Amino acid sequence: MHRSAFRDGDTLALAPLLDAQAAEDLLGQLRERLLAGLPVTLDGAGVERVATPALQVLLAAAREARARRLAFRLAAASDCLADALASLGLQAELPIEGSE
């Protein structure tokens, strides 16, 4: 199983399969980073499948980052991830950099 992982210490490359199990792992990683007061940059270019629990984790983390006045960026998203965000109307809260 591929996990989401921080590539360069700053950018979290999201796992190809963001199912409920991956969402739990992602929650822990994002929580740790936000509690440390660190900004979050996500790379979702490699996401092949995404489930609603993972989107809920991303949304909650984005809201928490805003509440803490920390940057939360979705630097890239696969078509799969972009379509999932659009189908749930989450583009405004989880905008993909460079898309309009």
pLDDT digits (tens, 9 = 90+) for 38-69: 999 999 999 999 999 999 999 999 999 999 99
Rounded to two decimals, what is the model's pTM?
Answer: 0.88
Helix, strand, coil % over all residues of the chain, rounded to 5: 40, 20, 40
Q: Find out whether 12 and 25 touch, Cβ atoms under 8 Å.
A: no
Beta bridge partners of 11: 41
Question: Is the pLDDT score of 1 beyond 50?
Answer: no
CA 35, distance to chain mean position in Å, is 16
At the top level of CATH, the class of 5-87 is alpha beta
The SS3 assignment for 4 reads: coil
Mean pLDDT over the full length of the chain: 91
